[in-house]
Structure 1
């Protein structure tokens, strides 16, 4: 079978957790044709990956969650060890369902957005499980975890309708077939210990702002690169960055302004004009406010300058690295 890597023959053969019947109404186009289930090309960083030529590399990219597994001991800060809410509840919460193909972003939410990875059709194919996923325990667990997440998300017929409308599930899946499919799958995994799924799926929805904080501040993922970008970088516009990280300054300056106005009014009253402690406190607070404003402006300029040079130098360095790799012909897999 094209794309197979040499594997230890002593490794135990796992079993598909699904039944040997097609979930799709029209399965003729997928049976025994894995190339019809893969994209033509994808990327691992700046390297090209041809899924039909290196299937296991592609499956690792499409199913495994290494970034979340690296911080698994800290995921309690970002989410609860509960099932994710179904799609209709996500809509009721006012969340926009955004499609992502990165498994590390699956069920990660930010404000009124939640990222959801579409369920690949090959996870509905019994023969595909046998040929590719059952020979690798980590791939098997990751695939089972992704399927389990869809048992959370698509619990009702209304959820199935939402999933198909947003492109998360194939339109060929009927509701009775989906229920039967999940019944078989759930019978083949341990729902009490979740030992059959990747440990990432012991948690449901994860909050992006908390993941960013973990990646920026907590070992073993702490680095200057992660401190700048966090778990998932948002907009690269500077105005968006400063709005996101320095908007608290407006609230602080507003409080200073009100307090200074109150001190000014107090100094204008005869009762407080001769009050020494009050005048000294007013003088100290006014001086501290001026210092705070100057320090804040200096901080913003310092951060902007640092970010400008970081992005400039990292872009320059990345351009050189990619160019060197292309000259050596090592970008494609």
Structure 2
């Protein structure tokens, strides 16, 4: 938590920076009313979820934006992201398909451009980021929100390069259907031509020094696609979180199946090696070899102990996850009871 002095420093820095919207073109259709121009389709959703509670967006737009543009989980491990992804702009949508990745929609910004061997998560571009008036009113006054929003917008400049990318984006619901291809071209040209930051980002996102505090791009977007498997290991080993960054196992059965498959692979490998050693010991050349005999002895012990150790480790991790989920459930249940819910 920032103290009052730190918050004042951030606010003063934001005022000094006097951030401007990255574009002025209004692509979204609007209607005239007593209060002036307003979008034909609302820019914001009706509700959002925060800590197991559904909240009304209109009640606190700033709180919604903080949740919508939250990248704290990735910023927390920023020093390790060089192990997770390349310091370059993300590859376009059609290239993602060429790599055999299914494009999966994810509304969490910290899952945007996170990939596994068969799929890549991409967050749809929300309508409010295509409104210059919204940028001016709700994002420009808040530097950290501006950083996340601008980096996210620039990622789409890289994702939607060609018309085929545009067609994919509209077809998948990544871009609003009312955005036309000529309109998108105009928007991208305005963003890139009017912003030296955008030009530098698209050519070399990691060119900004980490100590630079006035670059309006969140450090997460110094990198393009991020590998989910490595994010999981960083969270498990570096932060001590057994579930990792995003667990692939949604049920205990899936967790056991995944680990049993790994155990079967280990068992098959040790069986092959033991069989080969047994054949080797039956030959005259290796039968009297002390080194080979000792190696066979050590590996035999390994073949006995390794599966047992793996089973114990799987059971231990299973129990840790079970207890963690149980405590989490009880904590949420207690909170809901305090709010008057009959649970």
Scaled by the length of structure 2, the TM-score of the pair is 0.81
Whether the 8 Å CA contact 1:154–1:163 is kept in 2: the answer is yes
In the alignment, which residue of structure 2 is the partner of 1:23? 27
Unaligned runs of 5+ in 1: 1-6, 329-333
Whether the 8 Å CA contact 1:85–1:152 is kept in 2: the answer is yes
Whether the 8 Å CA contact 2:30–2:40 is kept in 1: the answer is no
Q: What aligned pairs does 1:170-181 form with structure 2 within 5 A after superposition?
A: 170-181=176-187
Count residues with an aligned counterpart. Answer: 312
| C-alpha separation in 2, matches of 1:85 and 1:8 | 35
| C-alpha separation in 2, matches of 1:216 and 1:282 | 34
In the alignment, which residue of structure 2 is the partner of 1:293? 307
1:289 and 1:169, CA in 2 relative to 1: closer, same or farther beyond 3 A?
A: same
Tell me by how many angstroms 1:80 deviates: 0.9
| C-alpha separation in 1, matches of 2:116 and 2:71 | 19
In the alignment, which residue of structure 1 is the partner of 2:5? none
Q: State yes or no: 1:145 paired with 2:151.
A: yes
1:273 and 1:147, CA in 2 relative to 1: closer, same or farther beyond 3 A?
A: closer
Q: 1:198 is matched with which residue: 189, 193, 218?
A: 218
Q: State yes or no: 1:102 paired with 2:108.
A: yes
Q: Deviations over 1:180-222 (max 9, x none)?
A: 111111123312256232221111111111111222222xxx2
In the alignment, which residue of structure 2 is the partner of 1:122? 128
Tell me by how many angstroms 1:292 deviates: 2.9
Q: 1:50 is matched with which residue: 45, 51, 56?
A: 56
| C-alpha separation in 2, matches of 1:137 and 1:302 | 44
In the alignment, which residue of structure 2 is the partner of 1:4? none
Q: Deviations over 1:107-136 (max 9, x none)?
A: 111111111111111111121122211211
Of stretches 287-296 and 46-55 in structure 1, the one that deviates more from structure 2 is 287-296
Q: SS where residue 308 of structure 1 aligns?
A: helix
Q: SS where residue 114 of structure 1 aligns?
A: strand
1:73 and 1:246, CA in 2 relative to 1: closer, same or farther beyond 3 A?
A: farther
In the alignment, which residue of structure 2 is the partner of 1:257? 271
Q: SS where residue 121 of structure 2 aligns?
A: strand
| C-alpha separation in 1, matches of 2:180 and 2:275 | 67
Tell me by how many angstroms 1:37 deviates: 1.4
Scaled by the length of structure 1, the TM-score of the pair is 0.83
| C-alpha separation in 2, matches of 1:292 and 1:314 | 32
| C-alpha separation in 2, matches of 1:64 and 1:318 | 22
Q: What aligned pairs does 1:220-235 form with structure 2 within 5 A after superposition?
A: 222-223=239-240, 227-235=241-249
| C-alpha separation in 1, matches of 2:294 and 2:73 | 54
Q: SS where residue 115 of structure 1 aligns?
A: strand
Q: 1:155 is matched with which residue: 161, 164, 170?
A: 161
1:34 and 1:215, CA in 2 relative to 1: closer, same or farther beyond 3 A?
A: farther
Q: SS where residue 228 of structure 1 aligns?
A: coil
| C-alpha separation in 2, matches of 1:319 and 1:156 | 49
Unaligned runs of 5+ in 2: 1-9, 201-206, 209-214
| C-alpha separation in 2, matches of 1:146 and 1:281 | 55
Tell me by how many angstroms 1:291 deviates: 2.9
Of stretches 170-179 and 251-260 in structure 1, the one that deviates more from structure 2 is 251-260
In the alignment, which residue of structure 2 is the partner of 1:237? 251
In the alignment, which residue of structure 1 is the partner of 2:73? 67
| C-alpha separation in 2, matches of 1:245 and 1:213 | 15
